[in-house]
Amino acid sequence: MKKMNMDRLDILSFLNGLVFYAPVALLVRTDAGVTTAQFFVLQAILSLTVFIFEIPTGVITDRFGYKNAMILSQVTLFLSKVLLYAAYIRGNYVFFVMEAVVEGFAACFLSGTQEAYIYSVYQDNRYAVKMAHVANFGTAGFIVSTLLYVVFYYFGGIRALMIATIITCGLGIPCVTGVEREPKTKHSEAGAKGSRPVRDSRTSTAGAAEKGSRAGVMVIFTDVRMILMIFLAAGFSLGFLLINFFYVDKLMACGLREELMSLIIIAYSAVQMLAEKILDRIESAHYRATMLVFIIFSGIVMMMFAFAHTTVVVVAIMVMLPLLLSVPAFILDSMENECIDQYGQEDKRASILSVANMVGNFLEIIFLFASAYIVRIGISSCFIGAGILLIVSGVCVFVRKRA
């Protein structure tokens, strides 16, 4: 397989992965007087902002270009880091709310945009590999910042961690500005010439494309395939949320110290980087079957995790589960973009992906507002339910695609 070279998009991902205060993200708020309940509200505000403005920003992105949207996202992300620092220094909850909203806008402009940009450059045959490649640089940045966290925290405390993060995020602005502009879509080029859209016969069917051209963007969401893929993507989001929120609780239930969580995060992040190597060895024609295998395996592992109490088993699952979820998630992204091509909506890619992401954001909002009640139900029940949801959704997507 052809080796992926490092480019500005990879460097940008690495810089944004350098969040030095990530291990004490909760402490950044609570040390400034924010209660645990208020912290969950802030996260919900962030998710709500993304949910409300996801589609409008997607439309703006399609109109003004993927690169311009990524620049705007990076600038907004930088401003959110500055606001967070100001909120911490002043201990002002209003500033924390403002930071959550601004960060939400940054996420909105990036949501669907980076995927659309990469797909426009690499297309379906290398898209999943490049997505994993870019994600690996972000993971590498996260690992580096986690390792350096102790040094910065020892010499300068939380303020040093936040300042270092602001600097690296700011460096991302000139980096993204130098990213090559995306190529024009075949659809938009054909439209400019006053002719019918030109489509690749490998990834489109005439009936679906003509139907999409006549009925507009929303017709794609009447397709059962797309609806099933959206629900499956929401299942992946739920799985990663459970990992982020409840891994440490499971660790403590096994009698281990919560300080070990940092080592486990580094371990599963490093293992997760293997997704690129796995995808690089799989032909795109075998993506659907590969996705089904990984989904079934990850769903079973999630249910096993609910009942596991042996330390070795629990830690092994913690390290492997993010990788098992990442591989099919990247493949699903590729399938969603392929569906967009089939409907001849290449020039509305960011808008469609933004709408698709809203389901995941909606579930995240519900999860954050109901976090206390979910804990009462039991962590094990959450992992069992997520595992079943993944398996059922994955099988439905596979069966529908074969039909």
* Domain ranges within the chain, ordered by starting residue: 8-183, 206-402
Question: How far, in Å, CA of 215 to CA of 23, rounded?
Answer: 48
What is each CA distance from 227 to 75, 138, 219, 220, in whole angstroms? 33, 29, 11, 9
Report which of residues 133 and 191 the model is more confident about: 133
Q: Which amino acid is at 296?
A: I
Q: DSSP assignment, residue 181?
A: P
Helix axes 311-342, 261-272, angle to 10 degrees: 40
Please check whether residue 242 is in contact with residue 383, taking contact to mean a CB–CB distance below 8 angstroms: yes
**pLDDT per residue as tens digits for the range 103-150:** 999 988 887 788 888 888 876 567 888 889 999 999 999 899 888 888
Residue that the structure tokens 């966290």 belong to: 149
**For the domain 8-183, what is the CATH superfamily, name and number?**
MFS general substrate transporter like domains (1.20.1250.20)
Q: Is the Cβ–Cβ distance between 134 and 13 less than 8 Å? A: yes
CB burial readout 221-238, b (16+ within 10 A) else e:
eebebbbbbbbbbbbbbb
Q: Say if residue 326 is exposed, middle or buried (CB neighbours under 10 Å; 0-12, 13-18, 19+).
A: buried
| 387 Cβ contact partners less than 8 Å away, ≥ 6 residues apart | 298, 299, 300, 301, 302, 303, 306
CATH architecture of the domain covering 206-402: Up-down Bundle (1.20)
Whether the CB-CB separation of 278 and 331 falls below 8 Å is answered with no
pLDDT band at residue 193 using 50, 70 and 90 as cut-offs: very low
pLDDT of 205 reads 46
Q: What percent of the chain has pLDDT over 70?
A: 84
pTM score: 0.75
Query: CA 141 from chain center: how many Å?
Result: 16
Contact 298, 390 (CB under 8 A): yes
- The amino acid that residue 62 corresponds to is D
CA distances from 59 to 84, 175, 215, 334 (A): 28, 24, 17, 21
